[in-house]
Amino acid sequence: MRKTIWVLNGPNLNKLGGREPELYGSQTLAEIEQNCQHICTEADIHLEFRQTNHEGMLIDWIQEASTKAAGLIINAAAYTHSSIAICDALKLVKVPSVEVHLTNIYQREPFRHHSYISPCVNAVIAGFAGKGYTMAIRAIIELIR
Ligand code: DQA
């Protein structure tokens, strides 16, 4: 059976492209997904790419990924800085996991400097805009090969 990499996106990331472009750039989430899809297709990996504005939905999806995914990438967006529940859910995930942020959260407002997600994943990529997602996909493919 083909392995699946799950990419989960949190609140407001559906607005990428038009949302604070000076920070997040002009790339839409659909374009980021396409780039991830391209790499996965070449590697014969299935991609499950999702976005939600709801914390509970992210938790349901992380729980689902914990039994189905070969690797997990998460940009929890603002929940990064507030959600102990997402951190707890991520502890269920036993496959390679990467936290991704478009921006370098450590260069931004102090309230973005703390991540509840980082202690619960294997790695963090922040500050490479949409390319951070494709870097994370390639890293996970290398690990699960
Ligand atoms: C973000 C950074 C978060 O602080 C912010 O709330 C987001 C996006 C990023 O990808 O840079 O929504 O996760």
pLDDT-derived band at 142 (thresholds 50, 70, 90) equals very high
**Atom from ligand 1 closest to the CA of residue 11:** 12
Q: Are 5 and 72 in contact (CB under 8 A)?
A: yes
Question: Which of 79, 80, 98 maximizes ligand 1 atoms within 8 Å of its Cβ, making it the mutation to test the pocket?
Answer: 80
Query: Of 41, 20, 18, 22, whose CA–CA distance to 30 is shortest?
Result: 18
End-to-end CA distance of the chain: 13
| pLDDT one-digit tens code per residue, 60-96 | 999 999 999 999 999 999 999 999 999 999 999 999 9
Q: Are 76 and 117 in contact (CB under 8 A)?
A: yes
What six digits make up the tokens of 114? 């703390």
pLDDT-derived band at 54 (thresholds 50, 70, 90) equals very high
Question: Which of 8, 24, 58 maximizes ligand 1 atoms within 8 Å of its Cβ, making it the mutation to test the pocket?
Answer: 24
Query: Structural domain tally of the chain?
Result: 1
**Domain extent for 23:** 4-144
Is 109 exposed, middle or buried, given 0-12, 13-18 or 19+ CB atoms closer than 10 A? Answer: exposed
Say whether pTM exceeds 0.75. yes
For residue 9, the domain's CATH number is: 3.40.50.9100
pLDDT on residue 5:
98
